Amino acid sequence: MKINYVVKRTIKLCIFCLFCVQIGLAQNSDQEQIRKIYDVALTKSKSYDWLNYLSNQIGGRLSGSIQAQQAVNYTKAELDSLGLDKVWLQPVMVPKWVRGIPEFAYFETSPGVTTNVPITALGGSVATPPNGVKSEVIEVQGIEELVTLGEAKIKGKIVFYNRPMDPTEINTFSAYSGCVDQRYAGAMEAAKYGAIGIIVRSMNLRLDDYPHTGSMSYGELKESEKIPAAAISTNAAELLSTSLKLNPSIKFYFKQNCKEFPDVESYNVVGEIKGSTHPEEIIVVGGHLDSWDLGDGSHDDGAGCVQSMDVLYILKKIGYKPKRTIRVVLFMNEENGLRGGTEYARVAAENNENHIFGLESDSGGFSPRGFTFDGPDSSFEKIKSWKDLFEPYLIHLFQKGGSGADIGPLKNDKITLAGLRPDSQRYFDHHHAENDTFEHVNKRELELGTATMASLVYLVDKYGLLP
Amino acid sequence: MKINYVVKRTIKLCIFCLFCVQIGLAQNSDQEQIRKIYDVALTKSKSYDWLNYLSNQIGGRLSGSIQAQQAVNYTKAELDSLGLDKVWLQPVMVPKWVRGIPEFAYFETSPGVTTNVPITALGGSVATPPNGVKSEVIEVQGIEELVTLGEAKIKGKIVFYNRPMDPTEINTFSAYSGCVDQRYAGAMEAAKYGAIGIIVRSMNLRLDDYPHTGSMSYGELKESEKIPAAAISTNAAELLSTSLKLNPSIKFYFKQNCKEFPDVESYNVVGEIKGSTHPEEIIVVGGHLDSWDLGDGSHDDGAGCVQSMDVLYILKKIGYKPKRTIRVVLFMNEENGLRGGTEYARVAAENNENHIFGLESDSGGFSPRGFTFDGPDSSFEKIKSWKDLFEPYLIHLFQKGGSGADIGPLKNDKITLAGLRPDSQRYFDHHHAENDTFEHVNKRELELGTATMASLVYLVDKYGLLP
């Protein structure tokens, strides 16, 4: 009985040791592969040169624009040059909204005494009448205030939404979420009370002179009920607010001649490496190729596109042969329609494709801090067990949370969706504004993001997730 | 016996519960205090305005310069205005090295065919002869190569140190450490082999046109043996290296008229809040007030100075009464002498002061990632037990490591020294160069650093460390 016990213990111990050695070897090899990924990313990657081209040779890439088409052609050609197993364009109809000539605005403290202020039409807004609109301004801190004020105080006026982003939020995306309803639904709601236009404080934590555009919706309003909507820079918003306190009868004037055209055809750009043993399991990594028109879209989301392309390039470069199919998707029209993401998921469902994992980079090209995940708990636990492998690269954040707008439509009860989470502090200084430009992207920060994404894709491919 | 046991168990359980409640309350109250610290830092702190003044109204603050004295006066006056218990200047003699008129350099591929290149004299270097020096160049990858080459190949030439910082290091300070011997000791070593001058590739991971200065030493060389030393921009270093491969007989010319003057008196600026229950235990928080002269010293180390001042301001602002004495020290002359740090420690020893903790911020005003610690294991374990309190602020790094040059001289076997560790990726793009300027500091990143420092100082003050 005792001997039996000793034998049993010894066998158990041996099994345990073998198990440890195996885990050790796997960890070692993973450590080495990830080190290789970071080394290649920091010395031989293509992200930064690609982004330079997208930003400086092409520029802002609003859906339906010539630049968006140039970006499709350029990234398709670059993916073609990587020797992937398949590269293709996936057609999708997208909205075509055009800003027209630069907007113009001022406020008038007494007849003839005017102060020009920087504004930008919100994406999707209607134009003002050709001579602009001019009226008294009513400042509010949010949509709910309209109810209290009522039609009597709003009718015929311009509503000025001035609730700032909350500076005490550590994650600036939370501060953005707490404000963006003013931009998205502000015009629709103010129109119901008879406002003739709206001005929204830019979604920017910094006080500066850049107005920030972004998408908006008129909901179910009829064409005749739509009112023009523009964003004003944070500095000008502060100035206007102060001036209104001194003189509530200030008049605001603005003029914009933006226009919505019929939808046009555009494309998602897709490339893949076929999996060697589970080709039917698909891992998607992507960003969105369209951008707003004011800057060159370097952070939003040129960075995410070139990082995603580079994930495939780097995995090839280190000689890794994926077991599963790894696909890069550059989505079209995230900013004002999400048509690319929606179409990609529709086609995937139509073809009965089995997507096990999606990773999007759409939070800027800043120093990566980690990921947030949206998927089954068991998959999240598995991913969390890899966290230590990222420690040497100062990647600490592995949390449940959102992923990315474009991969969102792939959501079901099995897939895990993830978002790269770079440092968020500077993001809204540039987001949707004229200063979202290449010189504000740091090469190493961009490359570290790429390496972090490639490392996670490598681990998901090697060990799999819920099918 | 049994009843006795039950009673004992019950008592133990009660004590345990009380203990848990107490810990819970302490944690809660710490959570609340830290939340307050971050809220005040992100909404009412003074760091950014102070830095604006230091950078834009004063500018580069090289030891012994008028600007350094202006910085002493300004920060002293600002500390005076905070209502601390004591503010004073601590005299210290500092070196006075002056750059003189701008340096000039070119390389000549054939007689009369020249390419101008951006250089900057290293701090402490001697001047060239009035008409400059001109000679053939010998490129090396490091000091050890001089031994192999020997005097025959070096004598009469300019040595060009061109080993780049290693891009695969994740922490850029490690890449810096791996290279900086070329700058610090390059001239001293090359002079021994008869070189007539040295040019060092700038300590910069980015390819750009900014030369980066920094300290150097001639060791024991006699005045007559000293040779002039300058840094060249990374772009120009690449160009020179490529050109030398095509034509090894290229001549390099440079001219600089920098000069060392006798030492002058300057000051550490010190302010403190007296501890209420352990006033004899001193906690120091600081940065260095001097900077190089090319930029305005915003990241190195204006940021650390204003953050340190703000730690005391914020603790006062939230109404916290420290148990121990909390002292801010703005050290003079970190860059080219460390005289301020040395003098501060000397005076502290002379006065038998008991410093229990020192925290320095001298790694730029970027997004904080955590701290490194140098001190007894038991203190490190205690500090690590507070790590979870920092998690909501995305502060993850609590590691053993270096602290800061200025607080280094306080080192003994009881004190814990710590360094704030911000994201390091962009630091060496600006370090000691013309582009270390205010616009490259992000307000929120600076303030988050301040809050992170204040939170740690609060915890050390409240719970103490090894006395």
Interface with B, mutate which of A171, A235, A396, A446 (most B CBs under 10 A) = A396
The catalytic residue among B78, B139, B189, B334 is B334
Residue A178 burial (CB < 10 Å; 0-12/13-18/19+)? middle
Q: How far apart are CA A85 and CA A322, in angstroms?
A: 12
Q: How far apart are CA B444 and CA A29, in angstroms?
A: 39
Q: Is A191 helix (H, G, I), strand (E, B) or coil?
A: helix
The verdict on a CB contact (< 8 Å) between A43 and B168 is yes
Measured in Å, how far apart are chain A's first and last C-alpha atoms? 45
pLDDT band at B25 (very low <50, low <70, confident <90, very high): low
Q: To the nearest 5 percent, what fractions of chain A are helix, strand and coil? A: 40, 25, 35
Residue A136, min C-alpha distance to chain B (Å): 31
Place of tokens 């730690």: B311
Check CB contact of A42 with chain B, cutoff 8 Å: yes
**Cα separation of A333 and A339, whole Å?**
6
Check residue B1 and give its pLDDT.
Answer: 45
Cβ of B397 within 8 Å of Cβ of A394? The answer is: yes
DSSP-derived 3-state class of residue A354: strand
Beta-sheet strands, E only, within A111-258: 113-116, 119-121, 133-140, 158-161, 197-201, 229-232, 251-255
Residues of chain B contacting A444 with CB distance shorter than 8 Å: 167, 172, 205, 425-426
**B225: closest CA of chain A, how far (Å):** 40
Beta pairing partners, A98: A259
Q: Is A206 an 8 Å CB contact of chain B?
A: yes
CATH (residue range A34-97+262-463):
3.40.630.10
CA–CA distance, A63 with A50 (Å, rounded to integer): 20
Residues of chain A with Cβ-Cβ distance to B394 below 8 Å are: 170-171, 369, 396-397
**B contacts of A443 (beta carbons < 8 Å):** 206
Instruction: Return d(Cα B316, Cα A403) in angstroms, integer.
Output: 41
* Residue B386: HSE in the Cβ half-sphere, 13 Å Cα cutoff: 27
Amino acid identity at A167? P
Domain ranges of chain A: 34-97+262-463, 100-257
Q: Does B11 score more than 90 pLDDT?
A: no
pLDDT of residue A256: 98
Partner residue facing B394 (CB), from A369, A393, A445 = A369
Give me the architecture of the B36-97+262-463 domain, per CATH: 3-Layer(aba) Sandwich (3.40)
On chain B, the residues whose CB falls within 8 A of the CB of A42 are 167-168
Nearest alpha-carbon partner for A294 in A176, A436, A183, A124: A436
Measured distance CA(A297)–CA(A289) in Å, rounded? 9
Phi and psi at residue A184, to the nearest 5°: -75, -45
Return d(Cα A336, Cα A340) in angstroms, integer. 10
The answer to whether B394 contacts A170, with C-beta atoms less than 8 Å apart, is: yes
Total number of residues shown for chain A: 467
Within chain A, which residues score under 70 in pLDDT?
Answer: 1-28, 467
At B276-289, the pLDDT tens digits run 999 999 999 999 99
Nearest to A396, CA basis, from B342, B386, B302, B395: B395
**Surface of B (434-453) touching A: CB under 8 A:** 442-445, 448
pLDDT for res B462 = 98
Q: Does A39 touch chain B (CB under 8 A)?
A: yes
B429 phi, psi to nearest 5 deg: -70, -25
Alpha-carbon distance B37 to B315, whole Å? 7
Distance between first and last Cα of chain B: 45
- Position A1 scores a pLDDT of 44
Work out the pLDDT band at B20, boundaries 50, 70, 90: very low
CA distance B313 to A442: 33
Q: Pick the residue of A35, A165, A170, A174 with the most B CBs within 10 A to test the interface with B by mutation.
A: A170
Catalytic positions of A? 334
Predicted confidence at residue A11, as pLDDT, reads: 60
Q: Would the CB atoms of A38 and B423 count as touching at under 8 Å?
A: no
3-state SS, residue A387: helix
Longest CA–CA span in chain A (Å) reads 105
Query: How far apart are alpha carbons A226 and A219 in whole angstroms?
Result: 10
| Three-class SS state of A87 | strand
Say if the Cβ atoms of A444 and B43 lie within 8 Å. Answer: no
Whether chain B has a CB inside 8 Å of the CB on A43: the answer is: yes
CA–CA gap between residue A340 and residue A418 (Å, rounded): 18
Q: Using CB atoms, which residue from B206, B396, B444 is nearest to A443?
A: B206
Q: Which of A205, A394, A442 sits opposite B170 (nearest CB)?
A: A394
| Interface confidence (ipTM) of the complex | 0.93
Contact A38 B170 (CB under 8 A): yes
Helices (H) and strands (E) in chain A, counts: 13, 16
**pLDDT over 80 at B24, yes or no:** no
CB pairs under 8 A between A and B: 63
Instruction: Give chain A positions within 8 Å (CB) of B442.
Output: 425-426, 429
Which residue out of A443, A445, A450 would a mutagenesis test of the B interface target, given it has the greatest number of B Cβ atoms within 10 Å? A443
Alpha carbon of A457: minimum distance to chain B alpha carbons (Å): 20
Check whether the bond before B301 is cis (ω within 30° of 0).
yes
pLDDT tops 50 at residue B241: yes
Tell me what pLDDT residue B377 has: 97
pLDDT tens-digit profile of B299-309?
Answer: 999 999 999 99
Say yes or no: domain B100-257 is CATH 3.50.30.30. Answer: yes
Question: Going by C-beta distance under 8 Å and a sequence separation of 6 or more, which residues neighbour residue A251?
Answer: A107, A108, A134, A135, A136, A137
CB < 8 Å from B in window 346-405 of A: 367, 369, 392-394, 396-397
> How far apart (Å, rounded) are the C-alpha atoms in residues A362 and A260?
26
The verdict on a CB contact (< 8 Å) between B393 and A429 is no
Q: Which pLDDT does position A20 carry in this prediction?
A: 46
Give the single-character DSSP code of A165. P
In tens, the pLDDT along A61-89 reads 999 999 999 999 999 999 999 999 999 99
Output phi, psi for A322, to 5 deg.
-65, 145
- Residues from chain A contacting residue B39 (CB–CB below 8 Å): 168
CA distance B37 to chain A (A): 10
Print burial letters for A32-65: b (CB count within 10 Å at least 16), e (below 16).
ebbbbbbebbbeebbbbebbbbbbeebbbbbbbb
Q: Looking at beta carbons, which residues of chain B come within 8 Å of A448?
A: 170, 425
List the single best residue of A234, A444, A445 to mutate versus B (max B Cβ within 10 A): A444
Q: In A, which residues are within 8 Å of B44 by CB distance?
A: none
A80 close to A261: Cβ distance less than 8 angstroms = no
A-chain CB neighbours of B365 within 8 Å are none
Do the beta carbons of residue B372 and residue B418 sit within 8 Å? yes
C-alpha to C-alpha distances, A311 to A426, B218, B318, nearest whole angstrom: 24, 47, 47
Half-sphere exposure of B332 (CA within 13 A, CB side): 31
- Chain A residue at shortest CA distance from B445: A425
Question: How far is CA A286 from its chain centroid?
Answer: 10
For chain B, say whether A426 makes contact (Cβ under 8 Å): yes
Select the residue from B45, B439, B443, B447 to test the A interface by mutation, using most A Cβ atoms within 10 A.
B443
For residue B448, what is the nearest residue in chain A, using CA coordinates?
A170
How far apart are the CA of A393 and the nearest CA of chain B, in angstroms? 6
Q: Give residue-wise pLDDT tens across range B130-187.
A: 999 999 999 999 999 999 999 999 999 999 999 999 999 999 999 999 999 999 999 9
B185 at interface of A, judged by CB pairs closer than 8 A: no
CA of B46 vs chain A CAs: smallest distance (Å): 15
Predicted confidence band of residue B466 (pLDDT cuts 50, 70, 90): confident
Dihedral (CA of B343, B349, B352, B354) sign: positive
- Would you call B259 an interface residue with chain A, using a CB distance cutoff of 8 Å? no
Taking every pair of C-alpha atoms in chain B, what is the biggest distance, in angstroms?
106
Rounded-to-integer distance, Cα A405 and Cα A421, Å:
14
Set of chain A residues whose Cβ sits within 8 Å of the Cβ of B172: 444
The dihedral sign for the CA sequence B229, B231, B236, B237 = positive
Q: Is A37 on the interface with B (CB under 8 A)?
A: no
Q: Residue A1 carries which DSSP code?
A: -
Q: What is the 3-state secondary structure (H, E, C) of chain B?
A: CHHHHHHHHHHHHHHHHHHHHHHHHHHHHHHHHHHHHHHHHHHHCCHHHHHHHHHHHHCCCCCCCHHHHHHHHHHHHHHHCCCCCEEEEEEEEEEEEECCCCCEEEEEEECCEEEECCEEECECCCCCCCCCEEEEEEEECCCHHHHHHHHHHHCCCEEEECCCCCCCCCCHHHHHHCCCHHHHHHHHHHHHCCCCEEEEECCCCCCCCCCCCCECCCCCCCHHHCCCEEEECHHHHHHHHHHHHHCCCCEEEEECCCEEEEEEEEEEEEEEECCCCEEEEEEEEEEECCCCCCCCCHHHHHHHHHHHHHHHHHHHHCCCCCCEEEEEEEECCCCCCCHHHHHHHHHHHHCCCEEEEEEECCCCCCCEEEEEEECCHHHHHHHHCCHHHHHHHCCCEEEECCCCCCCHHHCCCCCEEEEEEECCCCHHHHCCCCCCCHHHCCHHHHHHHHHHHHHHHHHHHHHCCCC
Chain B: closest CA distance from residue A183 (Å): 23
Question: Which of A207, A210, A367, A440 to probe the B interface (max B CBs under 10 A)?
Answer: A367
Query: pTM of whole model > 0.90?
Result: yes
* Peptide bond connecting A301 to the previous residue in cis, omega within 30 degrees of 0: yes
Extract long-range pairs of A386-390: CB within 8 Å, 24+ residues apart: A386/A30, A386/A456, A386/A459, A389/A27, A389/A30, A389/A31, A389/A34, A389/A455, A389/A459, A390/A34, A390/A452, A390/A455
